Chains A and B, each alone.
Chain A
Amino acid sequence: MKITLKIWRQDSPKSKGKLETFHLDGVEDDMSFLEMLDMLNEQLATEGKRTVEFDHDCREGICGQCSLVINGQAHGHESHYTTCQTHMRSFKDGQTIFIEPFRAKAFPVIRDLKVDRSSMDRIIQAGGYISAFTGMAPEANSIPIHHNISESAFDSAACIGCGACIATCKNSSAALFMSAKVAHLAKLPQGQVERKERIAWMVNAHDEEGFGSCTHTGACAMVCPQEVELLDIARMNYEYNRALCSTN
């Protein structure tokens, strides 16, 4: 099939960007979206033109490195997909596709479609861990954890840190991302000890990075590739209020 691409080109973080138009012929149904971009880049390279920079790595939806806003939607129009899992069979012959980087104050553009998402790592650095140094752990079965609790902790821990929730949110809030980590650790007995400090430090880091506030529109949970629940944000708010009132 034939498609027209309107792709965001921006040379460096400080330069001004603009949409550039490309035409591709011979796109196949079973190409993934990123393979379609590979095809474009091979064409550009043959012509000696600078290729389109985009982030990607595992191409199976788990590393969280691919991003892109496709026709206005983070990771494209398929709910709960990553960009790398999106295939061209879901586009039409002759269609025009707009491709832009994830946009947020805390995600400065590096070049073209590549953005800097280190702000998300700094939220985790603030408290998104359990301080169990190597060598100090008790026998794994010494603390039984109910099947359902472990499964529920997994649901939150499944977050791939792609940032689609933030790119989708009208306030560029990282609430869903942050709450997934808070909920993962708060659900498990191992996460109890540092519970109070964790939430306070992470929320502070979130605000310092320039992420916006959560107004519960739920758009984040609609795009999340791992289907992290909106309920995790409520769990996070509970943790926050609990920390304010509790002594430990």
Chain B
Amino acid sequence: MALNAKIPEGPLKDKWQNFLDKTNIVNPANRKKIDIIVVGSGLSGGGAAATLAELGYNVKNFYFQDSARRAHSVAAQGGVNAAKNYKNDGDTIYRMFYDTIKGGDYRSREANVYRMAQLSVDLIDHMTAQGVPFGREYSGYLSNRSFGGVLVSRTFYARGQTGQQLLMATYQALMKQVKAGNLTEYRRHEVLDYVIVDGKARGVIVRDLITGKIERHSAHAVVLGTGGFGKIFYLSTLAMNSNGSATWRAHKKGAYFANPSWTQIHPTALPQAGEHQSKLTLMSESLRNDGRIWVPKKKDDQRLPGDIPSEDRDYYLERRYPAFGNLVPRDVASRAAKERMDAGHGVGSLKNAVYLDFKTAIGIHGKDTIKERYGNLFTMYKKITGIDAYKEPMKISPAAHFSMGGLWVDYELGTSIPGLYAVGEANFADHGANRLGANSLLQASVDGNFVLPNTISNYLSNEIRTGKIATDSPEFEEAEKAVKNQLKKLLAIKGTVPVDQIHRRLGKIMFKEVAMSRNEKGMKWAIDEIKKLRKEFWEHVAIPGDDQGSNSELEKAGRLADYLEIAELMTVDALDRKESCGAHFREEYQTEDGEAVRDDKNYMYSAAWEWQGGKDWKLHKEHLVFNDIEVKTRSYK
């Protein structure tokens, strides 16, 4: 299938309006005849489910957590961007579009990014109306802070719990729809496969995680708001149960997977303390507004940070990038930290961290102001490390965070399977090769609340005469059988190697060779190792218990089986791209002073991979066209 991005006609700024003017919509009286399955309850999935239910469709919402309020959007800390220009600092929709395209190193689709910037303005209005207690000035008006990669203040925030507050608004809207009878929740249900009938997505096979029962559910369309797969690295900022299975299993049913290797490594997470560690807690990027990052100039400096005088400190971001300083984008900040640590300047017992220091800011603004801005982050830091960051600098380290890649979608957020849509982090659309801070909450919310409900009607308008989709067709039969067989196969292994142990080893391979810095030799080694590990998994993994009820090891094993395949495609994708762009840094393609070298002539495309039944992948290129922005070398110097 050739890729058709379905970008609407007209000048960039009119495309979304032109789309809305001409798209097909569904008569309110007909919406009750239409069933929509939404997978995921976060800002994208939950936002889509609540909005579609408001519109009058029958919505079935599936998620694996015990409540919709637990979706991982909850953990986003720093903020959400919007081009409101409340600060009168020259912000415009175009500037936000420009910053996002540039931040993504010219590897995203113009029309999608512009639409996101346009709708950012409406999103803040919507969330405020829903009761989100955004930070405010004493005048009563909304307050803003700055995030990396931009020169204006356009980030709206609710202390360091912005994701939580946006998610609560979304969750409350969902709960209202449940009570109203427009939406049925299937909590603690995991989607294990999709049912394609006559080429269209028509349903899902799910497992009830309490009873173990396998169920069939049908619908006229299926929407995935299932997030990213950064947990493939095992150690990441993601929640323990975040996984790539929902998108991966869609990929294996025919949905193209785009730019899978583009993973954001977040520069400010807590460093790993030991082998047993399960998670790297994120410290919000907003801290870089007031915190200064440094390492000792001397290698193996044993002095306490407070005893190291200014002249012996290397504020390496301020040194290398004077224009943006501590607020360079995440990929740049992470790579610069890695460069210093590799050169022997890392701090902490494992030499795997750098300092994030608030002394200057506390001196200027006072402790109370810093506390009001970041209080919960300092508290969280103390709970985990036992250290008071008001008195000594935080130790931070890069950690796997966000998947820029995901299911390939067109302008309408439709995947390459008709009737299957992907919203939020589950798709690949808006961030190019590097996501700017505070654009994640934005994209997820905008996709779910504003974009998808308007684009999916274009498809559903042809479904009003279809009638209920039966679940006793051969297609459902076959999909259910495949799911049951896989569970049986997993349980029959009865090995002795715990799931998490294999997952940790996969994470190490991936973090070493397919993360911040990549080269051909390393990645070829990685592919061999992944294949070996996959073999070991299917022969020796330990999954005790059965499938008749709650069994966390079985759930994790199913997800790891998918990760062991995703890992290979990530590496294949990274090998294919012989250039450096954004988070994808190929050691073979860099300048003398270690900056990325893009190859626009050969690689100005999004790589959409087609599953070929397990033997290699077929590459489809979506060539990117930039009419409204001059493509330049990205510089933050």
Contact surface of A with B, Cβ cutoff 8 Å: 11-12, 28, 30-32, 34-35, 38-39, 41-42, 44-51, 53, 55-65, 78, 81, 85, 87, 89, 110-111, 114, 116-118, 120-121, 124-126, 128-141, 143-147, 150-151, 153-154, 157-158, 160-161, 184-185, 188, 190-191
Contact = CB atoms under 8 A, between A and B. Distances in A.
Contacts of B542: 45-46, 48
B61 interface: no
Given A57-B239, A137-B128, A184-B133, A46 B498 contact: yes
A131 B380 contact: no
A195 to B, nearest CB: 12
Nearest to B82: A140
A60 to B, nearest CB: 5
A129 B135 contact: no
Contacts of A131: 176
Nearest to A131: B176
Interface in B107-126: 122, 124-126
B461 interface: no
B612 to A, nearest CB: 34
A118 B210 CA distance: 13
Interface in B27-51: 50-51
Contact of A55 (B66, B139, B168): B66
A129 B171 CA distance: 9
Closest 4 CB pairs of A and B: A144-B140, A129-B172, A137-B129, A132-B129
Interface of B: 50-51, 54, 65-70, 72, 74-75, 84, 86, 122, 124-126, 128-131, 133-142, 158-159, 161, 164-165, 168, 171-173, 175-176, 178-179, 187, 210, 239-241, 273-274, 276-279, 281-282, 372, 380, 383-384, 386, 449-450, 453, 494, 496-501, 542-545, 549-553
A64 B131 contact: no
A56 B544 contact: no
A121 B171 CA distance: 10
Contacts of B142: 140-141
A71 B501 CA distance: 29
Given A45-B498, A59-B278, A129-B175, A65 B65 contact: yes
B165 A53 contact: no
Given A64-B70, A144-B141, A185-B131, A32 B380 contact: no
Nearest to A27: B276
A12 B545 CA distance: 14
Contacts of B67: 64-65, 117-118, 120-121, 161
B137 A147 contact: yes
A41 B549 contact: no
A114 B550 contact: yes
A160 B171 CA distance: 12
Given A57-B240, A58-B72, A134-B54, 10 more contacts: A28-B274, A39-B276, A60-B282, A65-B67, A124-B171, A125-B176, A134-B449, A141-B84, A144-B139, A190-B131
B161 A61 contact: no
A23 B496 CA distance: 20
Nearest to A59: B279
Given A129-B173, A154-B159, A45 B544 contact: yes
B383 A45 contact: no
B386 A89 contact: yes
A207 to B, nearest CB: 17
Contact of B553 (A41, A60, A128, A141): A41
A131 B122 CA distance: 17
B181 to A, nearest CB: 11
A101 to B, nearest CB: 13
Contacts of B124: 140
Contacts of A47: 544
Contacts of B136: 144-147, 150-151
Nearest to B76: A62
Nearest to B238: A58
Contacts of B131: 129-130, 153, 157, 184-185, 188, 190-191
Nearest to A11: B549
Contact of B380 (A30, A60, A133): A60
A50 B544 contact: yes
A151 B133 CA distance: 7
A45 B210 contact: no
B128 A190 contact: yes
Contact of A124 (B158, B172, B241, B499): B172
Contacts of A28: 274, 276
Contact of B66 (A32, A116, A145, A150): A116
A47 to B, nearest CB: 8
Contacts of A64: 67, 69-70, 74
B544 A49 contact: yes
Contacts of B553: 41, 45, 51
Contact of B126 (A35, A137, A160): A137
Nearest to A117: B66
Of the listed residues B68, B122, B552, the one surrounded by the most CB atoms of chain A closer than 10 A to its CB is B552
23 contacts: A30-B273, A38-B278, A46-B497, A48-B494, A50-B551, A57-B72, A58-B240, A60-B281, A61-B383, A85-B384, A124-B175, A125-B179, A126-B179, A128-B175, A130-B130, A134-B126, A134-B450, A137-B128, A137-B130, A143-B128, A147-B137, A158-B164, A188-B131
A129 B68 CA distance: 14
B397 to A, nearest CB: 15
B273 to A, nearest CB: 5
Contacts of A188: 131, 133
* Most B-side CB within 10 Å, residue of A44, A141, A151: A141
Contact of B129 (A62, A110, A125, A136): A136
Contacts of B75: 58, 60, 62-63
Nearest to A82: B383
Contacts of B273: 30
Given A64-B69, A140-B84, A184-B131, A35 B277 contact: yes
Given A31-B274, A45-B543, A147-B136, A137 B552 contact: no
Contact of B140 (A61, A89, A118, A146): A146
Contacts of B383: 61, 78, 81, 85
A133 B173 CA distance: 8
Contact of B178 (A65, A125, A132): A125
Contacts of B279: 59-60
Contacts of B135: 150
A51 B545 contact: yes
A117 B188 CA distance: 12
B550 A53 contact: yes
